[in-house]
Amino acid sequence: MTGGPTFKEVYEEQFRFVWRSLRRLGVRESDVADAAQDVFLVVHRRLDEFEGRSKVSTWLYGICYRVARDRRRLAHVRHHVDDERAVAERVDEHADVAAEAERREGFAMLDTILDEMPIEQRAVFTLFELETMGGEEIAAALEIPLGTVYSRLRIARDQFRKSLTRLQARERFRDEARAGGER
Amino acid sequence: MSAPKRWLDDGGGATRFERDLLRLGASHEPPAAAKDAVWTALLAQIPPIPPGSTGGGAAPGAGAAKAAAAAKAAGAAGAATNGSAALAGAVGGGLLKSALIGAGSAVALIATYAIVTPATVSQPPPPAPTAIEAVGAPGTGVRSAIGERGAAGAAAPVTPETQGLPAIADSAAPLAAPAAATSAEPRADGPAPSAGRDPRGPLGVSSGPVGPMDRETRLLEESRRLTEARDALRRGDASGALSRLAELQRAVPGGILGQEREALAIEALAKSGRASEAQARARAFLQAYPQSPHATRVEAFAR
């Protein structure tokens, strides 16, 4: 291997990117170490084929995308959210970790919203809004035309708002029901 | 085609709550120990030597040899040339795959590593390899952008590792006693005959000096069975997980991964609706291992 980055270099520089990409593609916190391992095993096998035609990050994202999609097909996804919620609620009783619990609630909410998107939209949305990647780069990472990137982004944003509105309505309802019960 | 503005940018058109939520999402970083843990696990699975000079082969024996080289390359422990350190690498790979009890597993892996190495090799435990990363994580800047909460989150994963390590190493030997005492499983009173899987003899050695090969065998066996139990639990088969864990306890009563087994059992009990048993064992667990990397998780079941 000459010229290109070594496996160790790629790992050092890109681990955090791979981790958060997997999380944002819907891999649970409890599974993400396994998934990251899978990604880097592919990287190790195929690093010689990577010829610098694209940025390392876009190449890696393609691998993350496939790993996340395959895991999603295995499907044991939903109940984990409930697990994490349950733990967060229990932890809430500790005053000193209440803030952390609230933060986890926020993550759980975001997860729930993103989980309702098809992975194609989710990828575009999270790359654009969270990773702040440019349109062309996203197009390269997902191997789709730029126009498709923007149309998916539009649809994903609509979906995001719809899910969020519904979640907030549900939570309001729950709060009111609770308040009513206490009276 | 003009690019739309990002929601996080000014004038991006998102509501304040949407922006808060996205900012939180953008701040998500891996726990401090994750990078080293995944690397160690990776090295156990890939040959660090240039391709072509090894024949490959994923047989357990070959795996151990690979892991030996891998552990050395990682420099994760100063005693990597020792067979048991290599084993820790191999088991680490399996453990990571098994992601024993959820988000804490990366930390657990490091802790497990520490349990094995100092106990068999008479050397001081290596400095926590992830300390530097924890301090210098570039994500801290982003985190602070979302306020104090972020800081609390960033600090959390570091604590069990930095504080827990010495305690874990110290408690490696007496693991058997509290686990057996708190167990509600039948037939936990003595080692059962080996299931014939291991030609070297019964696995149920809970005290006395243990040869390195016995230790390796036990570790691999424990790791394999824990993975099975954990997979069952993740499939939603809590009773299957419980019976596997009970079997494991019979086969390897004073397990090196005793804490992991017990923590997983507590979770499985809770999931199969046996809340009061889960609670009792969670409390016993916390009393026995207050510094355990699994303590936070187990605490949730102790109430």
Q: Rounded to a whole number, what is the distance in Å from the CA of B101 to chain A's nearest CA?
A: 8
Instruction: Say how many CA atoms lie within 13 Å of B110 toward its Cβ.
Output: 32
B254 against A162, higher pLDDT: A162
pTM: 0.48
- A12-16, A144-148, B135-139, B181-185: the lowest-pLDDT one: B135-139
Pair B71, B43: CB distance under 8 Å: yes
For residue B30, give the nearest of A19, A30, A44 by CB distance.
Answer: A19
Q: What is the pLDDT of residue A106?
A: 85
A119-129 helix and A98-115 helix, angle to the nearest 10 degrees: 130
Pair B28, B137: CB distance under 8 Å: no
What is the arithmetic mean of pLDDT over A83-97? 43
Say which amino acid occupies A125.
Answer: F
Cβ contact B138–A16 (<8 Å): yes
Say whether pLDDT at B159 is over 60: no
Q: Is B56 on the interface with A (CB under 8 A)?
A: no
Interface of B with A in 234-263 (CB under 8 A): 234-236
Residue B3, token pair as written in the block: 């690019």
How far the first Cα of chain A sits from its last, in Å, is 72
User: What are the residue boundaries of the structural domains of chain B, listed by start?
Assistant: 7-170, 173-188+206-302
B145 against B294, higher pLDDT: B294
Count of helix runs (H) and strand runs (E) in chain B: 15, 0
What is the arithmetic mean of pLDDT over B201-221? 51
What's the CATH architecture for B173-188+206-302?
Answer: Alpha Horseshoe (1.25)
Q: Above 0.85 for ipTM, yes or no? A: no
* pLDDT band with cut points at 50, 70 and 90 for residue B138: very low
Cα→Cα distances B249→B179, B208, B297, Å: 9, 18, 21
Report the alpha-carbon distance of residue B153 to residue B147 in Å, rounded.
Answer: 11
Task: State percent of chain B over pLDDT 90.
Answer: 5
Task: State percent of chain B over pLDDT 70.
Answer: 41
For residue A90, give the nearest of B1, B99, B303 by CB distance.
Answer: B303
Q: What is the pLDDT of residue A1?
A: 47
Cβ contact A130–B25 (<8 Å): yes
Minimal CA–CA distance to A124: which of A61, A74, A181?
Answer: A61
Cβ contact B4–A150 (<8 Å): yes
Burial class of residue A183 in the structure, from the number of CB atoms within 10 Å of its CB (0-12 exposed, 13-18 middle, 19+ buried)? exposed
Q: Rounded to a whole number, what is the distance in Å from the CA of B156 to chain A's nearest CA?
A: 9
For residue B46, give the nearest of A31, A41, A87 by CB distance.
Answer: A41
Helix (H), strand (E) at residue B215: helix B212-234
Contacting residues of B for A11, CB less than 8 Å apart:
39, 42
pLDDT in tens, B63-97: 344 444 444 343 333 333 333 333 343 344 444 43
Nearest CA in chain A to B73: A8
Minimal CA–CA distance to B255: which of B198, B294, B293, B214?
Answer: B214
What number of C-beta contacts closer than 8 Å exist between A and B?
A: 123
Pair B271, B238: CB distance under 8 Å: yes
What is the arithmetic mean of pLDDT over B117-143? 37
* Structural domains in chain A plus CATH codes: 1-75 (1.10.1740.10), 116-183 (1.10.10.10)
Contacting residues of B for A76, CB less than 8 Å apart:
234-236
* pLDDT band with cut points at 50, 70 and 90 for residue A108: confident
* pLDDT band with cut points at 50, 70 and 90 for residue A40: very high
Residues across chain A: 183
